Amino acid sequence: MKRRDFLKTVGCGTAALLAGCTTETTTTITKPAPRRRSRPKKSRTRTSPSRPPNILWLISEDTCPDMGCYGNPQVKTPNIDKLAAEGAMYTSAFATAPVCSASRSCFMTGMYQTSIGAHNHRSHRNDGYRLPPPVAVITEYFRRAGYFTSNCAGLSYKKPGKTDWNFTPGGPAFDGTDWSQRRPQQPFFAQINFSMTHRDFDRDKNNPIDPAKVELPPYYPDHPVTRRDWANYLEAIQVLDTEIGVALQWLEKEGEAGNTIILYFGDNGRPHVRDKQWLYEGGIRVPMIVRWPGRVARGTVVDDLISTVDFAPTFLSAIGLEPPEHVQGYNIFGEKKRTREYIFAARDRCDGTVDRLRCVRSKRYKYIRNYYADQPYTQFNAYKKLQYPALAVMQVLYKQGKLTADQARFMAATRPRGEFYDLQEDPHELRNLADDPKYKKILQTHSRKLDEWIKATGDRGETPEDPKIVDQEQNQMARNFVESMEKRDLSPTVSDEGYLKWWEHKLLG
């Protein structure tokens, strides 16, 4: 069947697709998929026990575990829920960075971004920076094992998918955009990157979410703009679910589902004020689901601490390859499985906003170290100012004295050097226990572990970035901000109150 015909008939036909009907496989289609060419017949292969397993990574941008299977009843995610029911759902998976380029630089190399000079967001964009030997993009190892490698943008199988690394690979990182381009019987390592959960969000018009019913975290003010923005994010997850369902159905149609290890995860946390770019749970905790027929028990829930640095060694091991010695992650599958006591994450310069944070998290506790404690949490960042309506809400309400103590804390002029949280008792990370004598010893243990990690991994954040590069990034950020505000017919110096009115008009009508 041609792909465009498949996409027209999958589930219950074109008219029903537009109506958002469901099938027995719980795949819900809420919008028509784009037209695309059929796959060459020579690449359509059937499952064979003797063939090496294929690997498919489904990667969504800026996503926390906010799906139905993770306990959010407001979000309709039948396809992701089904994937979890057919495999293992991981409840404690974490990105090594709360922003895409640094995070992706890690999971595509199996090396912490701080170890390979890839820790500053969108760094080395034009200078041709190469990975330090022997580090390589993991597709290189799959190629050597005879795998075809591909990366596409969502259901646009002819369009290359997101890479956004803070380095320049030595050659083409992928062989193509679609696994159908491989030789007959050739195994594949494929990525499909989904962008609808990145701002600006793709709304789900067929299954809208009522803003009045969303559950906001206590560190956000209850305001119509905040509610509408949060609902839009959740709707984008529903759109993501639809596209994942189509991709999984096509894998099934090709007869490859039974011989493919599927990993679904988010590249970093959700794009909200206290989440993305921060080391709180909302910035680094990501969804992670693995389906491996015959090897991973159906309906498994795994609470082990997992880091995205573990993905490279795990999936190389899954196809029988010994991970290179330099790779820093753990293999989390099989007989050689290793479990973690701690995960580590880092945030450095994002665009022109200079900052440095490090954190270590155990099952119950998290320690965050702020190296720029003299700076506010909300020091200027053009991306946040342009894209986060809740930030405008908080800035206005803070001046009016209308934020709660938990909300106002994030608007303070300075930060504590250290933050320590009991995640079991305080999952929203609101009560800093760093100065509580009761937690002194456990805090010291976490602080020591962080120091050991910084030293053992050769954290390059210890060396300040070249001031010339920082100046370039800050100037570029300032230019982009001015140009973007002018396109909105707004002055770059518009008052907080005036800017909030603009957001209210945009989001609420």
Are the CB atoms for 206 and 30 separated by under 8 Å?
yes
Name the residue among 240, 344, 298 with its Cα closest to residue 89: 298
CB 440 within 8 A of CB 448: no
Residues in the chain: 509
Which residue is listed with tokens 């009560």? 431
Smallest CA-to-CA distance from 100 within 139, 132, 60, 159 is with 60
> What residues contact residue 237 under an 8 Å CB cut-off, 6+ apart?
60, 63, 66, 67, 75, 77, 197
> Using only C-alpha atoms, what is the Rg of the chain?
23
Cis peptide before 164 (omega within 30 of 0): no
Determine the straight-line distance between the first and last CA of the chain, rounded to whole angstroms.
Answer: 44
Label residue 188 exposed, middle or buried (CB < 10 Å: 0-12, 13-18, 19+).
buried
Write out the two tokens for 205.
């018009």
Residue type, 433: L
Q: How far is it, in rounded angstroms, from Cα 128 to Cα 93?
A: 32
Is 350 a catalytic site residue?
no
Inter-residue contact 276 to 99 (CB < 8 Å): yes
- In terms of DSSP H, where are the helices of 309-381? 311-318
Specify the 3-state DSSP secondary structure of 139.
Answer: helix
Q: What are phi and psi of 51, to 5 degrees?
A: -85, 145
The candidate with the shortest Cα–Cα distance to 243, out of 28, 26, 468, 436, is: 28
- The DSSP bridge partners found for residue 361 are 343, 366
Annotated catalytic residue, options 12, 64, 69, 100:
100
Q: Which residues are catalytic?
A: 100
